[in-house]
Amino acid sequence: MEDKKANQTASDEFSKLLESDSIRIPQVGDIIKGRVVAASKSEVKLDVHGIMMGVVRGPEMYNEVPEFSDLKPGDEVDAAVIDEENESGELELSFRLVGQEKAWKELRQAAKDKSVIKVRIVDANKGGLLSRFRQIEGFLPVSQLAPDNYPRISGGDKSKILEKLKSFVGQDMDVTVMTLNEEDNKIIFSEKDVWNRKQKPALDRYRAGMVVEGRITAVTNFGVFVSFGENIEGLVHISELAWQRIDSPSELYKVGDNLQAEIISIEGAKVFLSAKRLLKDPWLEASAKYKIGQVVEGIILKVNPFGLFVKLDEEIHGLAHISQLNLGAKDKISDLFKANEVKEFEVVSISPNDHRLGLKLAGAFQAETPEAAPEAAKEE
């Protein structure tokens, strides 16, 4: 009889607690605070308000957020209600929903402050790296990789570039948030921005016109990269490697070679260098060496639709425009001329300041000297 009376009294007190202003039954979607009663790798039990129990289990545990990864009895923690009563009569709770909102909040703040966060690389494609912050996925484009991680593959072999990118899967990278569009779920990260910040103090000690010496770290089809100073890297474009025209930087240099160059410009963290500016410009003496009307032997370096690139000596190359080759209406330049052939040419124009020398096939009809075609100017 006394037990029955005691149970009735406890039930009445519990009902009064629920009816009071300070106690409210949690609803699905609510964020509640609970105290950890027990924690294991498979589930966490929470005491909610001292009047009910809740459980977090399986994928809802969300260990990616530090505050959820090492819980101990007595810890207070937030959780989201996903079911008001499970099979055991407990609240079914989720750390994942709370953790994702916290992650979004951190991302918003990082985008606003331009602060550095850490992301995990989970996959790669030809455009860049699929990156994850907590469980929120974003993208790190190839163009936003730090120079140390940029896949400089000679010849631009796409399969080798992808292979290089895939080597980063599983690694953590420090990045900033470049773009954050929650509506479209579009997040773009930048590792290069973090690298630029670290390099700025070192870069501030350099100016255009200074001469530096460093080691070649990469040879590409458009130039060579040189590391100098405190891990600063600069690019010597193919047009700045030598005064004469070259087909590929690999003809002159290989990774590991030392190279001295002059700083042309510094744009942000990009450093542009020139090796040829430290060499005597052979074109300064071109007018003394070659005269208009002079017939010279030349080696055809390249046959293009607009004309022939011709090597007169190791330093001076000229262009014989297609109009100066005496071609017939049905003649094809590629049928009549081949690379490495030696022919006689006549000098028709010299422009040392522009590093250009015009030629015509010796004995050919003198056509009006054409303006350099855009393609020819680009090639030169």
Read off the pLDDT of residues 142-182 as tens digits, 9 standing for 90 and up: 999 988 888 877 666 788 889 999 999 999 999 999 999 88
pLDDT for residue 273: 96
Closest CA to 377 of 296, 314, 272, 304: 304
Which amino acid is residue 364, in one-letter code? A
β pairing state of 52-57 and 91-94:
parallel
pLDDT of 21 > 90? The answer is no
Average pLDDT value for the chain? 85
Tens-digit pLDDT profile for residues 49-68: 888 899 988 878 766 666 77
pLDDT band at 29 (very low <50, low <70, confident <90, very high): confident
Among 210-214, 255-259, 314-318, 371-375, name the one with the lowest average pLDDT: 371-375
As a whole number of angstroms, the distance between CA 31 and CA 77 comes to 10
pLDDT for residue 53: 92
CA dihedral defined by 302, 304, 308, 311, rounded to 10 degrees?
-20
CA–chain centroid gap for 99, Å, is 29
> How many helices (DSSP H) and strands (DSSP E) are in the chain?
8, 20
pLDDT for residue 19: 54
CB–CB of 169/133 below 8 Å?
A: no
What integer is the mean pLDDT of 352-374? Answer: 71
pLDDT band at 3 (very low <50, low <70, confident <90, very high): low
As a whole number of angstroms, the distance between CA 59 and CA 65 comes to 13
pLDDT band at 377 (very low <50, low <70, confident <90, very high): very low
Among 56-65, 88-97, 314-323, name the one with the lowest average pLDDT: 56-65
Closest CA to 236 of 117, 146, 244, 253: 253
pLDDT band at 15 (very low <50, low <70, confident <90, very high): low
* CA distance from start to end of the chain: 107
pLDDT for residue 141: 95
CA–chain centroid gap for 152, Å, is 11
Tens-digit pLDDT profile for residues 107-153: 999 999 999 999 999 999 989 999 999 888 999 999 999 888 888 77
pTM: 0.58
CB–CB of 98/64 below 8 Å?
A: no
Phi, psi for 352 (deg, rounded to 5): -60, -40
